[in-house]
Structure 1
Amino acid sequence: MPNLLDAAYLGLLLACSPVLASRSLRRGKYREGWAEKLRGRVPRRLGEAPCLWFHAVSVGEVLLLRPLVADLQRRRPAWEVVISTTTPTGLEVARRTFPDLVTFYAPLDFSWAVRRALDRIRPTVLALVETELWPNLIRAASERGARVAVINGRLSRRSHPRYRRFRALLGPTLRRLDAVAAQSEESAERFRDIGVPADRLTVTGSIKYDGLDGDRQSSRVRSARRSLGLEDVSGPIFVAGSTQEGEELAALEAYQAAREEHPGLRLILVPRHPERGAELAGWLASRGEPVWRRSVDEVPPRTPDPGERPPVLLIDTVGELSSIWGLADVAFVGGSLHPGRGGQNMMEPSAFGASVLFGPHTSNFREAVEGLLDRGAARVVRDAAELASALREELAQPTTARQRGASARGFVLAQRGATERTLALLDGLVGPIGKASRPGTSVSRNASRPASSAA
């Protein structure tokens, strides 16, 4: 089985090599970490304490680990925690969010790479975040005596049929899982349907709710307001976040239409892919909009003079959106106007009590969307015209908008508790050895350089 998978992966890698080469030439960050990815040369662990290896594919999954890791370090300070991720932006955020932990690129699912990585880390528990079902990694971890769990597990309605088609091939992998902690009953049923044994399934809820800030007066939000030059702004703020190509136009047109009635309105635009920053800045300028670009402009924008048009604040950096949502009176969550993208996390602006808008294509967040809409705590906009109309209505009826935001925040607060349930599950997987272990072990690393350079 591993040899067949290796051959399939090699074929896929060769087929994708022109795209990977192009990205490496255009974006230096894609040249990082190939020793880890292809050879499994991750940092070597030296100690004998229980070790939890969390694998989180990208930014969203890395960030949801914040409350879990914080509680884990407080309750089990002797345990070692390492975090791997797949994408350059994910690793950048992991290094910034967990500066005291070892973070690295996960090995690709080649048998030789995952074996070497596991032999170097020697995890007690391998915790895969959401839906990282890599057969060679799971098999090799299980063969080495590690307990393997999926935490915050999610199978969307869209991805479920794809996994079901390969149920016979996935069966041996899924039977090696020691636990699957699903976000919802719906996801648990889908995991059961593709072959996860029922006695290894539990519903913990989503950790994402526990990690949401929600405090508009927090230091992170105040810092964002100060760095964007918004401390003295009294008018409403419209944040369009995690936008994909085409959604920036809808957000800009909505902003321009609403600005006629609300001249103090400000727009903060946060594209899903920050590397589009230069392109978007040029496009905004061509539309007659002054632009302040976060990655380039070091000095916060000054307060506009009376009658002067304020700049669009373009945030083309990684990891700041979760704080910027705390500035929003009205929030549009991107990745949702056009099919095939599945939406982005609307829980972050909801936690801050913003009046939340998103498009109809939100299959990746179905349970959250249903919960918000059932309470009248969010609005669906089906196209650019509806987005413009909804923004104008929210600004014209601020009391109604605030009530909608309060309902959204109440919904988020009611969902919390998954971190506690997940910690109990991990405690059980580590077992009695974890409670007897003492601090003082370590992973070989140099904190001042990327993990890929570790021996």
Structure 2
Amino acid sequence: MRYLFSFIGLVYSSLIKLAVLFNPKARMMERGRWKVWGKLRGGIVPGGRHIWFHAASLGEFEQGRPMMERIRAEYPDYRIVLTFFSPSGYEVRKNYEGADVIVYLPADRISRVRKFLDLVQPEMAIFIKYDFWPCFLLELERRQIPTYLVSSIFRPTQLFFRWYGGAYKRLLHCFTHIFVQDEASRILLGKHGIDPVTVAGDTRFDRVISVYEARKSLPLVERFAATVPEDGLVIVGGSSWPPDEEILVRYFNRNPKVKLILAPHEIDKEHLLQIISHLRRPFIRLSEATESNIDRQDCLIVDSFGLLSSIYRYGQVAFIGGGFGKGIHNTPEAAVYGVPVIFGPRYEKFKEARELIAEGGAFTVSSAEEFTSLIERLISDKGYREAASRAAADYIRTHAGATERIVRQIIR
């Protein structure tokens, strides 16, 4: 089985190499992988105590970040090695100061896996939420290196639990301990003989609280938001995709009481120009905003990464993108500010979204008409909006603490 998985890893790596010809992300990944071994040799301290964290992309990194920072603060003898699979994670966080070495994950092939583990010699490995790489997990198990899965969540429809998914279910037994977000995941794993499993919660809540406490002051954004009419509001569209933007821009164009801060998920030139072509009111890109021109604008387009988590504080309502596509983005990032959260219909896989709706801090819409009706009520009924705001903030606070529970159990 190990060699079959290695062959699959070889095929997958070959496909990435082929995609280099026409896919910019594949090019970034391949170039980054060329540098992995040199970076590891330069960053790994022989005989040092290394903990390896793996995150698929930026979202998983943010979930693992509270653990990395807690370990770094309380156990400074450990050095942290951080790997990413996706360029959208690595390219944004390749200079993150909370890790000692940051590289792309090498290809999931036996030879690459052994070379990586021989160089790093981790005392433990921590996988964040998802991204299971068979050759890595099997080799970690063979070497008896403690391996943990944190902030995970499982559903019966996943590959592990299908009649044809036995080989992948076997991988779950490679983990020394699995920390899940909810009781339903623990029960499901137990039915399939997977243990030990602990319900620890989601470390992302700890992360959004720390971001809230260290939030950046953005004077130009604050000035933009301060000029909203008294009977209007500021909507922040976070990590938006075209279907989300169509709804937001349509409403914005027709309602002068509303100001819009739009932070698209993709900020390439072509996509930004597409957004701009549909705007019928004054707008400006954040990169071009100044004190002398910001007051005249009704729409602020955030054309850089890394600011959204601080920008949510300037809105009265947040629309989280992705709900008309593969799934919504980070709702707690907005809810921590006590901002009512709205998103499209594809949210069922996201536990925090379901619970926020149940608590009254979030709402889902399936069309532009539903969005209009909801926004009009949030504008006209201040008490309704304030109740939703309190519910959103309270939900985040009551779900904090997963980082503490996990770190205390894996490091004794």
> Fold conserved (TM > 0.5)?
yes
Residue equivalent to 1:176: 174
Q: CA deviation at 1:318?
A: 2.5
Task: Describe the SS at the equivalent of 1:33.
Answer: helix
1:355 equivalenced with 2:379 (yes/no): no
Residues 266 and 30 (structure 1 numbering): CA distance in 2 closer, same or farther, change over 3 Å?
farther
Residue equivalent to 1:405: 389
Q: What CA deviation, in whole Å up to 9, does each residue of 1:272-305 have, x standing for no partner?
A: 2333x532334423543444234x5374672334
Task: Describe the SS at the equivalent of 2:179.
Answer: strand
Question: Structure 1 stretch 13-22 or stretch 146-155: which is displaced more?
Answer: 13-22
Residue equivalent to 1:318: 305
Residues 22 and 302 (structure 1 numbering): CA distance in 2 closer, same or farther, change over 3 Å?
same
Q: Is the 8 A contact 1:139 1:173 kept in 2?
A: yes
Q: Which ranges of structure 1 fall in alignment gaps of 5 or more residues?
A: 429-455
TM-score, with length taken from structure 2: 0.89
Q: What CA deviation, in whole Å up to 9, does each residue of 1:140-192 have, x standing for no partner?
A: 2222332111111122465x256534442124432221110111112223334
> How far apart, in 2, do the equivalents of 1:36 and 1:192 lie?
41
Q: CA deviation at 1:240?
A: 0.9
Residue equivalent to 2:262: 269
Q: Is the 8 A contact 1:343 1:361 kept in 2?
A: yes
- For this pair of structures, how many residues does the alignment match? 407
Residue correspondence of structure 1 range 292-331 to structure 2 within 5 A:
292-294=284-286, 296-297=287-288, 299=290, 302-305=293-296, 310-331=297-318
Q: CA deviation at 1:29?
A: 3.4
Q: What CA deviation, in whole Å up to 9, does each residue of 1:396-424 have, x standing for no partner?
A: 22332122111111011011110111101
Q: Is the 8 A contact 1:255 1:388 kept in 2?
A: no
> How far apart, in 2, do the equivalents of 1:398 and 1:182 lie?
37
Residue equivalent to 2:321: 334
Residue equivalent to 2:277: 285
> How far apart, in 1, do the equivalents of 2:51 and 2:298 lie?
46
| Greater relative contact order, per chain length (Cα 8 Å cut-off, separation 6+) | 1
Residue equivalent to 1:422: 406
Residue equivalent to 2:227: 233
Residues 48 and 163 (structure 1 numbering): CA distance in 2 closer, same or farther, change over 3 Å?
farther
Residue equivalent to 1:434: none
Residue equivalent to 1:117: 116
Residue equivalent to 1:150: 149
TM-score, with length taken from structure 1: 0.81
Counterpart AA for 2:194: P
Percent of pairs identical after alignment?
21
Q: CA deviation at 1:332?
A: 0.7
Superposition CA RMSD, Å: 2.7
1:210 equivalenced with 2:206 (yes/no): yes
Q: Is the 8 A contact 2:154 2:188 kept in 1?
A: yes
Q: Is the 8 A contact 2:16 2:26 kept in 1?
A: no
Choose the corresponding residue for 2:352, options 358, 365, 368: 368
Choose the corresponding residue for 1:222, options 217, 220, 225: 217
> How far apart, in 1, do the equivalents of 2:384 and 2:7 lie?
58
Counterpart AA for 1:405: S
Counterpart AA for 1:318: F
Q: Is the 8 A contact 2:51 2:79 kept in 1?
A: yes
Task: Describe the SS at the equivalent of 2:150.
Answer: strand
> How far apart, in 2, do the equivalents of 1:301 and 1:30 lie?
41
